[in-house]
């Protein structure tokens, strides 16, 4: 009896941990309104987070402050994560979203923009190295 309870608890913990580590791209899809601006130590806003951001199902991130839609990728591979964290160690321990402008670039391990992200229901936090976190609310 004790053995089956222990195994059930272990399975539950492993399942919850796996689910927590995977960013839900479908839940990310939609329009988001900025509620807390990301700033650098001098108080200047981050150019990579806009007042409004839309994430499309086909992997595009659209914002008025971006000259063109960015492509984005959630749940990067181990190699992509290692490449991103080498350049952005401040984001260690966060879920990562990679972004790039050049549609012909396919090597996500060299993505020029890396966000540390946290998605909790209708709340999205995006962090860029060197800036405070930006916080968004999902629009209906």
Q: Which secondary-structure segment (H or E) carries 131?
A: none
28 within a domain of the structure (yes/no): yes
| Cα distance between residue 44 and residue 32, in whole Å | 21
Residue 89 lies in a domain: yes
User: Would 3 be classed as within a structural domain?
Assistant: no
Name 16's Cβ contacts closer than 8 Å, sequence gap at least 6: none
Extract the tokens encoding 95: 């879920």
Q: State how many domains the chain has.
A: 1
78 domain residue, yes or no: yes
Domain span holding position 57: 23-138
Task: For 18-69, list the strands marked E by DSSP.
Answer: 30-36, 52-55, 60-62
CATH of the domain at 86: 2.40.128
Residue 129 domain-assigned (yes or no): yes
Q: What pLDDT score does 11 carry?
A: 36
Please check whether residue 123 lies inside any domain of the structure.
yes
User: Which pLDDT tens digits describe the chain residue by residue (140 residues)?
Assistant: 554 443 333 333 333 333 344 688 889 999 999 999 999 999 999 988 889 999 999 999 999 888 889 999 999 999 999 999 999 999 999 999 999 987 677 788 888 899 999 999 999 999 999 999 999 999 98
Q: What is the pTM of this model?
A: 0.79
Q: For residue 109, is it within any domain?
A: yes
What pLDDT is stored for residue 138 in this prediction?
Answer: 97
Q: What pLDDT, on the 0 to 100 scale, is given for residue 94?
A: 95
Ranges assigned E (strand) in the chain: 30-36, 52-55, 60-62, 70-74, 95-100, 113-120, 123-127, 134-138
Q: Is residue 40 part of a domain?
A: yes
Residue 10 is predicted with a pLDDT of 35
């Amino acid at each position: 009896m004790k053995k089956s309870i222990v195994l059930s608890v272990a399975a539950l913990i492993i399942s919850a941990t796996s689910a927590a580590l995977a960013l839900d791209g479908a839940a990310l899809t939609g329009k988001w309104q900025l509620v807390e601006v990301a700033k650098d130590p001098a108080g200047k806003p981050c150019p990579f987070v806009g007042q409004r951001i839309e994430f499309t199902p086909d992997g595009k991130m659209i914002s008025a402050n971006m000259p063109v839609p960015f492509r984005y990728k959630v749940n990067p591979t181990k190699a992509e994560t290692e490449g991103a964290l080498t350049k952005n160690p401040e984001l260690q321990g966060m879920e990562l979203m990679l972004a790039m402008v050049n549609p012909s670039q396919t090597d996500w391990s060299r993505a020029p923009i890396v966000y540390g992200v946290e998605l909790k229901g209708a709340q999205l936090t995006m962090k860029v190295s060197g800036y405070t976190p930006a916080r968004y609310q999902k629009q209906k």
